[in-house]
Amino acid sequence: MELKRVSDVVWEVPRTGGMRVPGRIFASDELMEVVLEDRSVEQVANVAHLPGIVEASMAMPDIHWGYGFPIGGVAAMRVSDGVVSPGGVGFDICCGVRLIASSFTEADFEARRDTVMGELDRRIPRGPGKGAIAPGSIVEEVLADGAAAAVRHGYGWPDDLDRCEERGTSKGAKPEEISDKALTRGRDQLGSLGAGNHFLEIQVVDEIVDPGAAEAFGLAEGMVVVMIHCGSRGLGHQTCTDHVRLMGDAMRRHGITVPDRQLACVPIGSDEGASYLGAMAAASNFAWANRHILAHETRQAFATAFGVSDTETGMRLVFDVAHNLAKIETHMIDGASTEVCVHRKGATRAFGPGHPDLPEDLQEWGQPVLVPGSMGTASWVLRGMEGNPAFGSAAHGAGRLMSRKKASRQAPGREVRAELEEAGISVRPLSVGLLSEEAPYAYKDVDVVADVCERANLAARVARVRPLGVVKG
């Protein structure tokens, strides 16, 4: 498709045919070469056809092919006449990343490496099937109240909620909109990691770029931290599946046509739209609680391994952000304050300094933005910036460079594990064979992605972290 260069790291897909707005991709020359290898640019253009979309159909630097929307896609639709699309959220509703600080140093970890990794290996359920830390009896309560329900049942600390996006509870949840099949799939998965690109990673802060922001976030060079990446498991996947099916029929009744059936959508204000948003919020609450419970178990693992209490671990939450949500927000559109439904599919909220939704102690610095690399490379902590050109959004990770199938053909899992161990990264996989699908070579260079985020005014670099050990499904 035709692309027009707007600036050093911004590219435009001009309006053609039924596009209501242009497309806009944030990428360097290096990243754009990769983007053009799949059909994600076409998906950016397809999203631009959706009713009520404003400004542009956008894509973050980690853009790659997805379901309907590209992964890394951002689109805002006017609440007054726009649509909501499950393809703009994804199947893993409220998938996100949580970063936990600690009082331990790299030397501390190295002295107890095998003990720590053994405790995590034993305690963290993972893989595509059943396995949970929390009992299924609290799932209905979690669907209504999210991480707050987990705290009531003894998982984690109450002040953790202050460092969660939405304080760990999505507004407007309607648990009654979650199907029995979705409940059945999720009931035995509350407090589990899942599979694929989900992980629990022990890392060390190896570079501080912004000392002031790092101090505000509670990070220091040499500190051991833990990053957890997971979402709503089978419950969220089934919820998306249910509503994509319902919307396919509903579009005809609402007179909506789209260039790709994977962009199934309905008016935000319709009964079907309200049903999806309520179900999505309930599934989001499952994800907030899921990460909260995993963080609790991680604290227990470290406490046991080091022979201290959980409070003595110093494992405070830095922040928890989602990257698969559609949220009603107010943004300036054409000079007017406008209520829009912002779809972020593989994109992280990145509000800048002074935003009223941020905790008071972060007002000066902006929201922490967590950008994982791969299990063999660094990850980045960024912060939201003023004047963000993408409805307060930034990249959610390095982004895939090759499909899982292609990656698995490059090398067997045992070789990938051996290379990681040789590099000093302990790996505890549920399946050694599947490690090749998530090998470092399967992902883009996270340093380049973080650099583009900063150059595009999406988010600024604060601290770089590198992996010491990883637990995977």
Per-residue CA distances from 321 to 9, 176, 196, 347, 468 (Å): 25, 25, 19, 10, 22
Q: How far does the chain reach from its first CA to its final CA, in angstroms?
A: 38
Whether residue 340 contacts residue 326, with contact meaning beta carbons closer than 8 Å, is answered with: no
Query: Which residues have CB under 8 Å from 64's CB, separation 6+?
Result: 34, 35, 38, 40, 70, 71, 72, 399, 400
Query: Which residues have CB under 8 Å from 396's CB, separation 6+?
Result: 60, 62, 72, 97, 323, 346, 347, 348, 371
- To the query of whether residue 343 is one of the catalytic residues in this protein, the response is no
Longest dimension (CA), the chain: 65
Alpha carbon 125 to chain centroid distance? 20
Dihedral angle, C-alpha 74, 80, 86, 87, nearest 10 °: -40
- Tokens 């199907």, residue? 179
Dihedral angle, C-alpha 372, 374, 379, 306, nearest 10 °: 100
Selected catalytic residue, list 64, 243, 343, 396: 396
Q: How many CB atoms lie under 10 A from the CB of residue 296?
A: 23
- Tokens 């140093």, residue? 105
Residue 223, beta-bridge partner list:
105
Alpha-helical regions (H) of 193-270? 211-217, 233-254
- Tokens 């970890």, residue? 109
Strand ranges, E, within 176-305 = 199-208, 224-230, 266-267
Q: For the chain, give me the number of helices (H) and strands (E)?
A: 13, 19
Would you please indicate which residues are annotated as catalytic (active-site) residues? 396
